[in-house]
Amino acid sequence: MELKIAKLGGDGIGPEVINEAVKVCNAIAKKFNHRIFWSEAMVGADAIQKVGDPYPNKTHNTCLNSDAILFGAIGDPKFDNDPNSKIRPEQGLLKMRKKLGLFANIRPTFTFDSLIESSPIKSEIIKGIDIIFVRELTGGIYFGKKGRKHNGEIAYDTCTYSKEEIVRLAKIGFELASKRTKKLCCVDKANVLETSRLWRETVQSMEMDYPDVKVSYEFVDAVAMRLIQWPNNYDVLITENLFGDILTDEASVISGSMGLMPSASIGNKICLYEPIHGSYPEAAGRNIANPLAAILSAAMMFENSFGLKDEAQLIRKVVNKSLNKRIVTKDLSKNKSHSTSYVGDWITKNI
Ligand code: IPM
Ligand code: MN
């Protein structure tokens, strides 16, 4: 098979972890007789520095001309500490999501038996966890009208959702749930927010199309608590953009390290794969970041964008082996740890 993949390293540790994922993809291609055509493009602070735009048109065209996108991370503390800066790296990611129509972000949360002790949560609570968040990604407060008034002393952000946006997101949740344990949780704040009431009403009206899926409706504050108390009660969770952002960071703690969790952003056509962690600027260029989330994102890409299940399975198997043999980066080991590129090379060699 011929695979056209856009490689967008982005900022901080992004390029380093994506490089390891690329090595792994190339090894997979060699083993299974595929040809990968990589095209590289810039995004984020890197692109602001070079051309003054965090998501330049050229990058957008590269993405449009690819079958899938492998993306690293975005963000630079230079911009975080300057609330007045007009152009910010994160705008690049938001623009990319919007322009590519990536309306759903699939974020699985799982544990590895060999790492169960690395989680701050008791192992009996998290053993065997396998949950999936479906986060809405191109609407809500992230994209609503925002601004300042009264000499800048009042600020506002608005949250808007249309029924259409909710239906297309919920559909993905229902379909995933019907292939799994048939449990779907709609996370909202319907006791306070009008948009949440529309979410609830809309999801309720879809229930009859999926008679075998059992839906629970839960408030986001309660879910934040239950995720830590009884994460095993959940299977598929659907939620709006901001709630999903917060809950998926929380859920990543279950796995023992944020450096492990992959994600897929899907839309009508092209999909993007990225680790859920950020740009971790303190570690940039030091060859210490954990490349596994990027490598596991590549596995999601093989399976989801190209239907290549065996390829994805092999990546996951070798990642598991690396964890069992403790070929891990610093975040996962207090004693003996390895560099980003050592872990990537080990996985590549074992494929
Ligand atoms: C994420 C990130 C982004 C978000 C930022 C970098 C804009 O935190 O992908 O979760 O908030 O969506
Ligand atoms: Mn986030």
Q: State pLDDT tens for residues 233-289.
A: 999 999 999 999 999 999 988 887 888 999 999 998 899 999 999 999 999 999 999
Both 191 and 124 in one domain: the answer is yes
Both 77 and 156 in one domain: the answer is no
By alpha-carbon position, which residue is closest to atom 10 of ligand 1? 245
Residue 248 Cα, ligand 2 centroid: separation in angstroms?
A: 7
- The tally of domains found in the chain comes to 2
Q: How confident is the model at residue 113 (pLDDT cuts 50, 70, 90)?
A: confident
- The domain that contains 240 carries what CATH number? 3.40.718.10
Ligand 1: nearest atom to the Cα of 241: 12
Both 248 and 132 in one domain: the answer is yes
* 215, 233, 255 - which closes a domain: 255
Q: What is the pLDDT of residues 324-349, one digit of tens each?
A: 999 999 999 888 999 999 999 999 99
Q: What is the pLDDT of residues 274-319, one digit of tens each?
A: 999 999 999 999 999 999 999 999 999 999 999 999 999 999 999 9
CB atoms within 10 A of CB 81: 8
Residue 317, domain member (yes or no) = yes
Q: In the predicted model, is pLDDT for residue 83 greater than 80?
A: no
Both 11 and 69 in one domain: the answer is yes
Average pLDDT (177-192) is 98
By alpha-carbon position, which residue is closest to atom 7 of ligand 1? 90
Both 63 and 34 in one domain: the answer is yes
Number of helices (H), then strands (E), in the chain = 13, 12
- Domain of 245? 120-255
Both 219 and 270 in one domain: the answer is no
Both 217 and 194 in one domain: the answer is yes
Q: In the predicted model, is pLDDT for residue 3 greater than 90?
A: yes
The 3-state DSSP class for residue 172 equals helix
Residue 113, domain member (yes or no) = no
Residue 114, domain member (yes or no) = no
- SS percent in the chain: helix, strand, coil, step 5: 50, 20, 30
